[in-house]
Amino acid sequence: MTSYFEGIDKIKYEGLKSDNQLAFRWYDKNKQVLGKSMAEQLRFAVCYWHSFCWNGFDPFGYDGTFTRPWHKIADVKEQALAKADVAFDFFTKLDVPFYCFHDRDVIGEGKTPQESKKLLWEMSDVLAKKQQDTGVKLLWGTANAFSNRRYMSGAGTNPDFEVFAFAAAQIREVLEVTHKLGGENYVLWGGREGYETLINTDLKKEGQSFGRLLNLIVEHKHKIGFKGTILIEPKPREPSKHQYDFDVQTVYGFLKAHGLEKEIKVNIEGNHATLAGHTFEHEIAMAVAYDIMGSIDMNRGDYQCGWDTDQFPNSIPDTALAYYYLMQGGGYTTGGTNFDAKVRRQSIDPVDMFYGHVGAMDVCARSLLIAEQMINDGKLAKAVSDRYSSWNGQLAQDTLAGKVSLADLSKYVLDKNVDPAPTSGRQEYLENLLNQYI
């Protein structure tokens, strides 16, 4: 069988002396960083959807631009098998430890729910065999509960209970298949869990049904003994105008409202942070602060056009800060760095998929090394802790512990004639410090 990636060998680490774009200059998988190998710290994954399902279609083209041979195969099973061959060939040549999929990525939908279920379970045997043969593992699985027209008004938030039930049934299968394949996480991205206009929407009801769906999923996870982490992927808009899982802080509030803050964590995507008006590192630091940091969908958006362009990361300063806050929070447990990223629709050659991923893996590896320096040096962390040092005093500690009333604080201020002297935030100094690491 000829490979779609004929002529491309397994990508190897060649170091900084190399100018080979099909080699790693920074990603040295066995190099020790902060007590683990780079491979263990970064836990790279390739996603099925952008590289093997998308055909380069956009709303202004009649058809896709990629002409991938497996897209021409009409039979659903044959197409799925051909696609899996190419996908695992790619994972192996790129030498990534993990991959991710939606159910509909690995095999198309059947005509009935029974048929879809059968197709997915049959395909799971193929994937299990491929995982065994290659050693590539599943970082996470997810159900595509947003592409089919039945989901146009949401899945867990649909006004029609039948759609809610359909989504629940679909998620059950994908959760179980993920469990069977040893998936380390299960992701929920609520693409259509939002609304277009309030005049046809019952916000309260949608929140209730969505909260119930999440609880059903968590209950089922425990019932089947799935030890992986359930993750919600926040995104503020596109496709919905008002999306419920807006950002990390909003998701935390929702989880808390439904008693799920200890059960579900977040999968944070760079481009989604941008769309929410946040930096990537803001979202990561927020998740660490609330103890819901799960996994990362690594990509970048376009600061000019404001769409979810899902480009490969290429900014070292931005990515270094993302890893700095991730590593400060202890790094990944079950999560990983999934490239939810696609080559541009004019990058039509098979080799372009490698250029995208290899470059991005190097950006991440180099950023991890910068994060390591920042952590070992400790200057930034010390500047922050110094800034808050007045909170170490007894009265401040008692205040945080709930032992002090408003009247106590008032007495303290009035008795001592407290007159706080403002101190500099030193932003420019710290920005200069950051640049020294980069």
Smallest gap from residue 282 Cβ to ligand XUL (A): 18
Residues 335-354 that bind ligand XUL (CB under 6 A): 340
Q: Which helix (H) or strand (E) holds 169?
A: helix 161-180
Residues 18-57 that bind ligand XUL (CB under 6 A): none
Smallest gap from residue 142 Cβ to ligand XUL (A): 5
CA–CA separation, 271 and 281 (whole Å)? 12
Among 103, 105, 247, 308, the active-site one is 105
Of the residues 41, 142, 311, 367, which one makes contact with ligand XUL according to CB under 6 A: 142
Nearer to ligand XUL, 342 or 366 (CB): 342
Provide the mask over 280-309, with x wherever binding to ligand XUL is found by CB under 6 A and - wherever it is not. -----------------x----------x-
Find the helix packing angle between 350-377 and 427-437, rounded to 10°.
120
Provide the mask over 178-217, with x wherever binding to ligand XUL is found by CB under 6 A and - wherever it is not. ---------x-x----------------------------
Of residues 303, 375, 289, the one with CA closest to residue 34: 375
- Which two three-digit tokens encode residue 108? 């198309």
Of the residues 28, 308, 340, 372, which one makes contact with Co ion according to CB under 5 A: 340
C-alpha pair distances (Å), 245 with each of 90, 188, 236, 285, 402: 32, 10, 6, 17, 32
Sole residue written with tokens 């000829």? 2
Smallest gap from residue 240 Cβ to ligand XUL (A): 11
Annotated active-site residue 102? The verdict is: yes
Question: Which residue stretches of 5-102 are H helix?
Answer: 38-42, 48, 76-94
Of residues 182, 173, 258, 170, the one with CA closest to residue 226: 182
Binding of ligand XUL at residue 233 (CB under 6 A)? yes
Of the residues 95, 206, 269, 283, which one makes contact with ligand XUL according to CB under 6 A: 269
Annotated active-site residue 105? The verdict is: yes
Smallest gap from residue 342 Cβ to Co ion (A): 11
CA–CA separation, 283 and 273 (whole Å)? 7
Find the helix packing angle between 280-289 and 316-328, rounded to 10°.
0
**Burial class of residue 273, CB neighbours in 10 A (0-12, 13-18, 19+):** buried
Of the residues 206, 269, 308, 372, which one makes contact with Co ion according to CB under 5 A: 269
Contact partner at residue 221 from Co ion, ligand XUL, none, CB < 5 to 8 Å by partner kind: none
> What residues pair up with 194 in beta bridges, in sequence order?
243
Residues 64-93 that bind ligand XUL (CB under 6 A): none
Residue 411: phi and psi, rounded to 5, are -60, -45
Nearer to ligand XUL, 11 or 145 (CB): 145
Of the residues 28, 297, 308, 372, which one makes contact with Co ion according to CB under 5 A: 297
Among 50, 95, 102, 245, the active-site one is 102
Report the chain's terminal Cα–Cα distance, integer Å. 45
Q: Which helix (H) or strand (E) holds 139?
A: strand 137-142
Total residues at interface with ligand XUL (CB under 6 A) = 10
Smallest gap from residue 412 Cβ to ligand XUL (A): 49
Name the residues that contact Co ion, by CB under 5 A: 269, 297, 340
Name the residues that contact ligand XUL, by CB under 6 A: 102, 142, 187, 189, 233, 235, 269, 297, 308, 340
The catalytic residue positions are 102, 105
